[in-house]
Structure 1
Amino acid sequence: MVNRSPLRSLWNLEGISLRVVLRRTARSFLKDDLLGRSAQLAYYFLFAVFPALIATSSLLGIAAKSATGFYMEILQYLAKVIPPEAFDLVLHTFDQTTAHSTTGKVTVGLLAALWSASVGVSAMQDALNSVYNIRESRSYLRARLSAMVLTVVISIMLTFSLSSMLGGDLLGHWLTATIGLHAVVGWMARVLGYAAGGSFLALTIALLYYFAPNFKARAWRWLTPGGALGITCWLTASIGLRTYLQFFNNYSVTYGSLGAVIILLTWFYLTAFTILLGAEFNSELEAAIAERKLAQEQLSHPPKPRNEAA
C-alpha cells in the first residue's frame, strides 16, 4: 500500500491531472461498491431519524412549548433540500411525539436515538475505512464509543447550520422591518447567515472525514477537494430530486402511503452516496500524490548497483 503523507494540502495537485484523479475515482467507485454501501447507510439513516425525533421532541416538550416551536422553525430550513413529501412525514412524526412528551420517553428515546444513530455512524466508519483501504484496528467498544461521540458532535453541527440560516433571516427582517435599513442590508444579512450555515456543513463533513476512518496519522483539514465535491453533489442531487418530484411525482401512485418513506429513503441514499464519493475522491487524490512523490524520489536517488561477486 502506498504511504500517504498526512501533512500536506490536498488542494496542491503538484502537476497531477484532474482527469487522472477522476479516472482513478471512477475505478475505485466500482471496486469499493459505493452504490451498495450507500444503500446500507440509507437504511441506517432511516432507522435512526425517527428515534432521534422522539428524543428531541420529548426533551423540547418537557422544557417548553416555545422551544419546540423554535425547533420547528429550524426544521423548516430542511425543506429547502428535503423533498416536500418526505419532509411532511418527518414533521408529522415530530408533531405526534411532541404532543405526548413524558420523562420516561426522554430516557428511553435518548438512549434509543443515540444507539440507533451511532449504528449509522458505525456503518459510515466501515464504509470510509473501505474507501481509504484501512483495516479497522479499534476494539468494538472503542469504535462504538467513537461513533456515539461523533453522532452527538454532528448533530450539534447540523443544528448550528440550520440555526445560522434562521438567524440570518431573522436578522435581515429585523434590520429592514424594524430598523428601517435598505433592503440590500437585509439581503446581505441573509447571505451571511446562509454562508455561516454552509461553513458549519463543511465543518461537519471535515469532522466526519477526520474522525470516522481508522487513521493512524491524521492531519486536520478544514475543507478538502473531496469535501467540496461531496457538498456540491449533495446540494445538486437534493435540489434535483426535489425539482423532479415537483414535476414528475409518481411515488404516491406507485407506492401509495409508503411514497413518503420511499422518497425519504431515496434522499438518504443520495446523501450517503455523495459523502462516500467525496471521500473516494480524497483517497485517490492522496494515493496519486503519494505515488508521484515516490516516483520522483526514485528518480532523484536511484538504487546503487550491487557489487558483483568476484
Structure 2
Amino acid sequence: MRRPIQRRLASTGWFRALRSRLVRWYEARRQTFPGRVLEILVRKFRNDEIAPRANAVAFNLTLSVFPAVIFLFTLIPYIPVSQFDTRIMLFLGQVLPAGIYAEIATTIYDIVSRPRGNLMSLGFLFALFAATNGMMAIMDAFNRSYRTRERRGFLRTRLIATALTVMLALVLLLAVVLLIVGNVVLDWITAHDVYHLLNGQVSVLLISLLQYAVVFFVFFTGLSTIYYVAPAIHERWNFFSIGALFAAVLCIGVTHVFSYYITNFASYNKLYGSIGTFIGLMIWFLLLSFIILLGFEVNVSIAEARRQRAAEAAGS
C-alpha cells in the first residue's frame, strides 16, 4: 500500500519541484564555507568515534582530579595572598556543578588539610605525574582524530602533558587572583556610590558578570592552549580558535544545565549513597570530554575546508 502511494506522490509535479528546490538549496549551502565546514564536521563525527574516546578521556580525568587537587594546593603557599586556598575553593564552587561540589568539598578539604611536601617532594612529583594522565588521554584522542601516530616520544609527550597541566593550574590561580581584584574594585565602586548610579541590584549584576567572565576566561584560555599545543600534527590555526570559543561556551552552558539537573532532579546519592557523587562527577567529565573533542573537530573541519577551498582556487 505504501509503495503505490510513494510512487504516486513522487510523480506529482509539486513534489518534484519541491525536491528539486531542496536539492538546489542544499547544494548552494554546501558550497558556502560554513556549509562545507558543517558537512566535514558531520562526516568526522560519524567516522572518528568521538563518544568512545570521550569515555576514555573522562575515565582518565576522573582518576586525575584528586592528584591535580594535591598538585594545585601545593602551589598555594608560594602565592602571597591571604586565605588563597579558601578563595580557590569558592571559585571551584562556581565552576563545578552545585550538587557535585557540595559533596566533594569535604573530600577536597580532607586532602588539602594533610601536610604537604615542597615542590621537590616525592609526593608532589607523583601527584603531578598522576594529574597528567588526563591530559595524555586528551592528546591521544586528538592524534586519533588526525589519524596520526604520536612521534614525539614518551618522555617528550609526558613533558608536554605536564607543561599543559601546570599551565592550566596557573590559569586557574590567575583567574582566582582576577576574581579577587575584581571583587575589591566592585566593593570600592559600591562603597563610593560612583556617580550615584549603582545600587544593590546593579552591584550584584556586576559581580555575577565578573564571575561569568572569569569562568569563561579559564575555559577559553585553557582550551585554546590545549588545542594549539596538544596535537602531534595539526594545521597551525590561531591560538584563540573558533573551536575553543565554541567548546568554552558549550562547557559553561552544559555545566549550568547539569548543575540544575543534579540539584533538582537527580537522586544519585539516594540510590548509590556517597559513591553517587563520583558517578555524577564522571558524567560531568564525560560531557566536558565530549565537548572538548567536538571543539577540536570543529577546528579540524575548518582547516580541512580551507584546504579544499585553496585546492579549488589553485585548480581553477
User: 1:202-230, CA deviations, whole angstroms, 9 ceiling, x for partnerless residues?
Assistant: 222111111100137635422x2211111
Match of 2:106 among 80, 85, 92: 92
Structure 1 partner of 2:25: none
Answer with 282-291 or 71-80: which moved more: 71-80
Q: Counterpart in 1 of 2:21?
A: none
2:65 paired with 1:49: yes
How much does 1:54 deviate?
A: 2.7
In the other structure, the counterpart of 1:25 is 41
Structure 2 matches for 1:141-220, cutoff 5 A? Answer: 141-177=155-191, 179-181=192-194, 182-183=198-199, 184=202, 188=206, 191=209, 194-215=212-233, 218-220=236-238
Q: Please give the secondary structure, in 1, of the residue aligned with 2:274.
A: helix
The superposition leaves residues 29-50 of structure 1 with CA deviations (integer Å, 9 ceiling, x where unpaired) of: 2321111111111111111111
The offset of 1:94, in angstroms, is 2.3
TM-score by length of 2: 0.79
Provide the alpha-carbon RMSD of the alignment. Answer: 2.9
The residue aligned with 2:90 is 76
Larger helix fraction of residues: 2
Q: Quote the Cα distance in structure 2 between the aligned partners of 1:257 and 1:196.
A: 31
Assess if the C-alpha contact under 8 Å between 1:234 and 1:271 holds in 2: yes
- Cα distance change on mapping 1:262 and 1:185 into 2, 3 Å: closer
Shift in Å at residue 269 of structure 1? 1.1
Structure 1 length-normalised TM: 0.80
Deviation, structure 1 residue 156:
0.8
Question: Does the CA contact (< 8 Å) of 1:44 and 1:117 recur in 2?
Answer: no
Q: CA 1:199/1:297 → structure 2, altered by over 3 Å: closer, same or farther?
A: same
Residues 1:277 and 1:227: Cα distance change in structure 2 (over 3 Å): same
Q: 1:240 to 1:191 in 2, by over 3 A?
A: closer
Matches within 5 A, 1:1-310: 16-57=32-73, 60=76, 67=82, 69-103=83-117, 107-177=121-191, 179-181=192-194, 182-183=198-199, 184=202, 188=206, 191=209, 194-215=212-233, 218-222=236-240, 224-299=241-316
Matched position secondary structure for 1:103 = coil
> Aligned with 2:232: secondary structure?
coil
8 Å CA contact retained: 2:37, 2:301: yes
Residues 226 and 279 in structure 1, CA contact (< 8 A), matched pair in contact too: yes
Counterpart code for 1:261: F
Letter in 2 for 1:278: G
- Identity %, equivalent residues: 27
Amino acid at match of 1:165: L
Larger of the two Rg values belongs to structure = 2
Contact 1:169 1:190 (8 Å CA) reproduced? no
The alpha-carbon distance between structure 1 residues 144 and 168, as it changes in their structure 2 partners (threshold 3 A), is: same
- Write the letter of the residue equivalent to 1:272: S
